[in-house]
Amino acid sequence: MIVVDNTVLSDLILGADAVRESAKILVLEDPDWISASLWRFEFGNVLWKIFRSPGDEWENVESPKVVFEAADAALLETVESLDSCEIFSIATHSDLTFYDASYVWLARERGLKLRTRDKKILRKCPDVAVAMPS
């Protein structure tokens, strides 16, 4: 079991070919994914940006309902109960956003690795953060 952040979910469901392949490899390596509940807001924002962007990007994406269902299905568990004070502490000590610190907190709390493509998390939290497979 691993913690995944929004970069991983977005790569799997909405990503370009190269990052999507990396996420598919990760599914094969460890299919049991969990994430902090805020993934929905971050994922929704990525989807919203695709919808608002000019060009035909939106035409290549399923309906929002289907996309959210696919992302939700990729997760074994969405953790709703988060320790905001601990997350704030991680954010301030690691110079991460509160969002990013939430995923780090979850990985540390559960004793799991956090798979991410976020370079700052990888650099600031090497105790739990692991890069995506290539």
Count of other CB atoms within 10 angstroms of residue 49? 11
Domain containing residue 95: CATH number: 3.40.50.1010
Q: How far, rounded to the nearest angstrom, does the alpha carbon of residue 59 sit from its chain's CA centroid? A: 23
Contact status, residue 80 vs residue 69, Cβ threshold 8 Å: no
Average pLDDT over residues 54-71: 74
Question: How far is 98 from 88, CA to CA, in rounded Å?
Answer: 6
pLDDT category of residue 110 using cuts at 50, 70 and 90: very high
Q: Looking at per-residue confidence, does 16 or 111 come out higher?
A: 111
For the chain, the domain total comes to: 1
Structural domain range at position 38: 2-131
pLDDT averaged over the chain? Answer: 92
Contact 114, 6 (CB under 8 A): no
Rounded CA-CA distance 56/60 in Å is 7
Q: From CA 128, how far away is CA 13, in angstroms rounded?
A: 24
pLDDT digits (tens, 9 = 90+) for 3-61: 999 999 999 998 888 899 999 999 999 999 999 999 999 999 998 888 877 665 555 56
State the Cα–Cα distance between residues 94 and 82, nearest whole angstrom. 18
